[in-house]
Amino acid sequence: MKLPFGWRAKAPRRGQEGSRIQGHDRGVMAFSHTAEVIRAEAALKAAGLAVRVMGPPPDMRTGCDMVVEFELVREPLARRVLAEAKLSPLAVAPVRAGMLEPVSLYQIKDFGQWLMVRAANMKLTVDKDTRVIVNISGGGCPDVPALAELLVGQTLDAAPSPLATGQTLCAYALELAFREAQRQLPTHPQPTHPQPEHPRPEQS
Amino acid sequence: MTPPWLIVGTVPDESVGLLQGPCALDRAGLVVDSARLPVWRGTPALLAAACAACAVLGLEPPQALLAGDAGRGSGSRLAYDHLRGALPSLAPRGLTFHYLFPDLAGHDQVLLAALVLPVRPLLVADAGFMYVAKMSGQAAEYDLFTPDAGELAFLADETAPHPFYTRGFLLEAGVGSAELIRRAWDTGGAAKHMLVKGGSDQVVRQGRILTEIAGPQTPAMEAIGGTGDTLTGMITALLMSGRAIPEACAVAALANRLLGQLACPTPATPVAGLVAHVGEALRLALARETEFLRGVMMPPGIRPEER
C-alpha cells in the first residue's frame, strides 16, 4: 500500500504554488540535534514555507540525523522564522547529491478488534472501537520507550503528537504511523462487534 | 572466574545517570547497581528476560551498563565514553548492545576498544546500536543482529543510515526476506549471524538461512512492544551458557513463541505480562532442545561457532 505523506499528500493551496519545492533552488539546513530539526520543520511549516525533512548526504551524517530542505531563495524569511523560535541552524548549504527521502510506505495489519500500522521500523496498534492506542512496538532509539509510556492508553485524539516530545528518527517514524492510524480510523468509527442496543437483565 | 557478559542500553529517565553492575530480578522488579527499575519495554525488559533465563540455566545474571537517555543522546554518549575506558579491565566475554542513541563516533570508539581486547568478545547488537553498527559499514564485525522485517529492509539498503530512510522498493510486500537477507550480507549491512524476527523466525549465517522456527504462532506478539527485547534477553543468556549462536537463536526463538502461547496475549497486552512467563517458556524449550534442534537445523547441524 503506497501512500504519500505530509507535504506530498496535499495539493498546493491557492497562492502557495510559488513556494513549492522544485527545480534546483533548494537548500538544506543542518541543526545540532534531531529535536531541533523537528521544531524547525514545525515552525517553518507554520509560517507557510514549503519544507521537508530529508536524510543528509553521506558526508554530513553522524548517526540519527536529518536536515530541513527548503527553497534557498526564501532563506532570509526562514532564518527570521527560526530566530523567533530561538533556533539557529549550524549550517546552510545548497542541496547536494545523496539526499535521502523519508520512508513513505505503510503496512497495515488487521487483528480484528485492533489495527496495527507500521511505518519503517515503528508499529502502533489501536483499538478500532475506542481508538485507544494499546501498544507501540519496534524502534531502537532511546526515546521510544518514553513515547510508548506517553501514548499507550490515550485515544488518537487525546494523545500528544509523537513529534511534540520525540527527539529521534524513530519518533519521526512513529509520527508517520500515528498520522496514518488517524487517517485509517477517523473520529467516528463503527463498532467492529455488534453491540446490543438494550441489554436485557439477566434471568434468574 | 568466568569473565562477565555485559548488556549495554538505556532507560528513558535522564535522572538515572549511569548505572553499572550485576542485575537482579525479583518479584518487585529489576535491580541494577542498587537502583530499582520498572520492567517496561526497552532494555529493562531485555535485562529482566536475561535474568529469568539465567536462573533457569543456573547462571549468574549478566552485568548491565545503563544510561539515562530520553532521546537527546547525552546519556548514550556517557555510556559510550565509559565503556571505551572500562572495556580493558572488564574484559567481557560478550557484549549485548541495545537501545542506544545511534552515534557514529561513539560506536566507532566502542567497537575499536572491543576489537583490540586480548580475547575478542562476542558482539550482539539490537535496536539503536544495530542501526549505527550497520551505518558504520562495520556490520560484519558483529556476531549477531536481531532485526524484524522493517529493520531487515533497512539492513538491506546500503544507502540508508536509519530505518527511517529505507527505500520503498525494499519495503514492498512482494520482496521476500531471503532476498533481503542475501542483499544485506552482500552489501555489508548484515552481521555474521542474524535472527530475523517475523511470522517465521529465521536463523541466518553469512547471508544464508540455516533454519526457520515457525511455531507456535501467536500473531498478537507482533504488536506488543518488548517481545523483541525478551527474545534478545534469552539469546544473551543462552550464549552465556556456551551455546553456539545458531543454537542459541533457535532455542530462544522457540522459547519466545512458547512465551506467547503461555501468556495468551492480545495486541493490547503489555510486555510486563509476558516477562513473568519467560522462565517457564525457556524450560519448555530446553526440554525439547535436542529433538527440536535435530528437527529444525539442517546439515551440517549445530557446531561450535568458529569466529
B223 inside 8 A of chain A by CB: yes
The residues that bridge with B38 in the sheet, in sequence order, are none
Please, which pLDDT band fits residue B254 given cuts at 50, 70 and 90?
very high
User: Closest Cα of chain B to A175: distance in Å?
Assistant: 11
Q: Out of B101, B130, B161, whose CB is closest to A61?
A: B161
Q: Which residues contact B232 (CB under 8 A, 6 or more apart)?
A: B46, B49, B96, B98, B124, B126, B146
Which of A35, A65, A135 is closest, CB to CB, to B268? A135
For the cut 80, the answer to whether the pLDDT of residue A104 exceeds it is no
Number of domains within chain B:
1
Instruction: Name the residue in chain A with its Cα closest to that of B42.
Output: A145
- Range(s) of the domain holding residue B232: 5-296
- Distance, in Å, from the CA atom of A141 to the CA atom of B103, rounded to the nearest integer, reads 10
Residue B249 lies in a domain: yes
Predicted local distance difference test score (pLDDT) of residue B171: 78
Interface list for A 98-137 with B (CB within 8 A) = 100-105, 107, 109, 111, 113-114, 116, 118, 120-123, 125, 127, 134-137
Instruction: Tell me the per-residue pLDDT of A135-159, one tens digit each, with 9 for 90 and over.
Output: 999 999 999 998 999 999 999 999 9
Q: Specify the DSSP class assigned to residue B170.
A: G
B306: in domain: no
Give domain status of residue B305, yes or no. Answer: no
Give which of B71, B45, B10 is closest to B270, Cα–Cα.
B45
d(CA A171, CA A182): 16
Distance between CA atoms of B33 and B239, rounded to whole angstroms? 23
B303 found inside a domain: no
In-domain check, residue B37: yes
Residue B125's H or E segment, with its range, is: strand B122-125
| Residue B301 domain flag | no
**Residue A18 in contact with partner chain B when CB distance is under 8 A:** no
Question: What is the mean predicted confidence (pLDDT) over A31-53?
Answer: 89
Could you tell me which of B222, B214, B220, B201 has the C-alpha nearest to residue B263?
Answer: B220
A140, A142, A149 member nearest B75 (Cβ): A142
C-alpha cell at A37: 530539526
Residue A156 makes CB contacts below 8 A (sequence gap 6+) with A126, A131, A133, A178, A181, A182, A185
Give the distance, in angstroms, between the CA of residue A6 and the centroid of all CA atoms in the same chain: 8
pLDDT confidence band for B215 (50 / 70 / 90): confident
Question: What is the chain A residue with the closest CA to B132?
Answer: A63
Q: Does B127 sit within 8 Å of A140, measured CB to CB?
A: yes
In a domain, B153, yes or no: yes
Give which of A118, A170, A180 to mutate to test B binding, by max B Cβ within 10 Å. A170
With beta carbons under 8 A apart, name residues in chain A contacting B227: 137
The CATH number of residue B208's host domain is 3.40.1190.20
Which domains occur in chain A, in start order? 20-94 (3.30.70.790), 106-184 (3.30.390)
Classify residue B304: in a domain, yes or no.
no
Is the reported ipTM for this assembly greater than 0.90? no
Q: How confident is the model at residue A28 (pLDDT cuts 50, 70, 90)?
A: confident
